[in-house]
Amino acid sequence: MTYLIGIPWWLKRLHNKGLIWSGTTKHKRIYLSFDDGPHPTITNYVLDLLKEHAIKATFFCIGDNVTKYPETFERIINDGHTVGNHTFHHLNGWKTDNLQYYKNILQAAKYIPSKLFRPPYGKIKPTQANYLLKRGWRIIMWNSLSADFDPSLDGISCFNNVKSTLQNGSIVVFHDSEKAFDRMKIALPLLIQYCIEQQYEIRAL
C-alpha cells in the first residue's frame, strides 16, 4: 500500500492551482476532516467525541452511504459540522471516464448540500478538476494523512503520522469507516488531546 503522509511542495505544483491543500497558516489552527461516511455506529462515535470537546469538523460523505443512513447524515448537519461531496460510489478519478465521474458527483450532490469536494484516494485528473473548479466547486485535498485505513498500522502509528506533519493550517484526514475504525478510535482522541496541550484550535473547513 503506497501513500504519502505529508504532501511535498513539488507534488502540489503538479496538480491544478485551484486545489486546496491547507488552510490559513496565520493562526495556530488545524482543520479536521473525515472521509467515507456516514456510518451509523462509527460516525456517531466521532460525533459524540467531537461534541464532548466542542469541536467542529468536515465530513466528506459518500452519496450511497447518505442514502443508506440518512439519520446519521442529518445528525452531522444538526450538530453544526460541515459536509462535503466524496462522490456517490467512491470513484477513483484516474480510473474513471470523465463524464461518468461528473455524473457520480452530481448524483451525490442530490443528497449532500455542499460545493466542497474531496476526490476519493486524492486521485483526480486535471480535466476533472478544471471542470469542477469552473462550476464553483472547492476541491479540498490535505497535507496531514493519518493513514488509519492501513491495516498494517496501529492507532499510535496513525496518531504519529498526523503529529509528525502537523503545522498551522494543516488539513487532517481520518476516516469514519469500518476499515479504519480500530485505528481511528485510538488516534483521534490522542490527536485531540495533543492539540489541546499544544494550543491548536481545531476547526471545520
Q: Catalytic residue positions?
A: 35, 175
CA distance 72 to 54: 18
- For the record, the C-alpha cell of 171 comes out as 488539513
Who's near 184: CB < 8 A, 6+ residues apart?
42, 46, 146, 148, 155, 158, 174, 175, 176
CA distance 150 to 174: 11
What residue type is 86 in one-letter code?
Answer: H
CA distance 204 to 77: 12
CB 139 within 8 A of CB 133: yes
Cis peptide before 38 (omega within 30 of 0): yes
Question: What length does the chain have?
Answer: 205
- For the record, the C-alpha cell of 63 comes out as 452519496
**In Å, what is the CA distance from 193 to each residue of 80, 196, 199?**
21, 5, 10
